[in-house]
Structure 1
Amino acid sequence: MSNTAPNPDDTPPAPRKLTPELTEAIAAIILSGNFRYVACKRVGIGQRTFKRWMALGKKYPSGIYGGFRRVVVAAETEAETRAVAAIIRAGQEDAKHLEWWLERKFPQRWGRGRGELLELKREIAELRKQIGPAACSE
């Protein structure tokens, strides 16, 4: 057993009261493109507190937590919209940005492994024909 005092940095911050100012601060951090956990660290709340507030917002959409949830989701939606628009704009100058976006948005059609995946599917179908349906059902 150690006589050393616990490091206060190892314990999550105590839950804070949800306020409109805190909601706006979190939304601004998320809107600038950060993840939820980064917003939590920046404003000094634990991730569990954030998740609890989001769950309460889902359960009670008309209260303060419902408003919090709507603001967070709206900030995430706006951040994503802005990011995609920036990628599309960058693609006007350099097509690699559009290629990157297409690979992720439509991986079945544009993914880098698409050709290899189709070839593997063809090979599997051919092998199934060769060994027969009985062997495939085992």
Structure 2
Amino acid sequence: MGANAPPNPDDGGNMRRTKISDQKIAAVAALIVQGNFRYVAGKAVGVPPRTFRDWMKRGKEYPDGLYGQFRIAVIAAEAEAERKAVAAVIAAGQDDAKHLEWWLERKFPERWGKFRGELNDLKREIAELKRQIGETQPSETP
């Protein structure tokens, strides 16, 4: 980074010692894969929500250090939890189609949602209002 870049918190320096560790990263990731929300997983291993947010922010700013590893682990764990949940819903749908219906309603609400008619009506109304607003805008003259 340039001369004006903030110090990398992974470098130690004069900053307060961090509590991030490989063990905490692994523990948070494991809890998220099980389906826990970010902050619940963090609290379970002693990471308050504000600290969790700070670590995620630092991970984006400094992707090569421990904070970067933390951020990547959290994002990957969330993706894995979602993949497992979708697989479970699809598998449950083999025995009971209501599970597939539920998934379709949420994955494709414009086609399968309970409120798809209302959603399409609202989209048309918004488009019409935008058209009307565009017609009433004063024209710009040079």
RMSD, matched Cα: 2.5
Output the TM-score relative to the length of structure 2: 0.72
Establish whether residue 47 from structure 1 lines up as the match of residue 49 from structure 2. yes
Aligned with residue 105 of structure 2, among 103, 108, 117: 103
Offset of 1:121 from its aligned partner?
6.8
Count residues with an aligned counterpart.
116
Aligned with residue 85 of structure 1, among 57, 62, 87: 87
**% identical equivalent positions:** 59
Could you list the runs of 5+ residues in structure 1 that have no partner in the other structure?
1-14
Secondary structure of 1:45's aligned partner: coil
Cα pair 1:53 1:68 within 8 Å, conserved: yes
Cα pair 2:35 2:81 within 8 Å, conserved: yes
**Aligned AA (1:89):** A
Q: Which moved more, 1:28-37 or 1:109-118?
A: 109-118
* 121 and 69 in structure 1: CA distance in 2 versus 1, 3 angstrom threshold: closer
Cα pair 2:110 2:119 within 8 Å, conserved: no
**Aligned AA (1:41):** K
Cα pair 1:26 1:39 within 8 Å, conserved: yes
* 137 and 61 in structure 1: CA distance in 2 versus 1, 3 angstrom threshold: same
Alignment correspondent of 1:24: 26
* 39 and 16 in structure 1: CA distance in 2 versus 1, 3 angstrom threshold: farther
Output the TM-score relative to the length of structure 1: 0.74
Map 1:1-138 to 2 at 5 A.
17-118=19-120, 137=136
Offset of 1:45 from its aligned partner?
1.5
Cα distance in 2 for residues equivalent to 1:109 and 1:33:
27
* 25 and 111 in structure 1: CA distance in 2 versus 1, 3 angstrom threshold: same
Offset of 1:37 from its aligned partner?
1.2
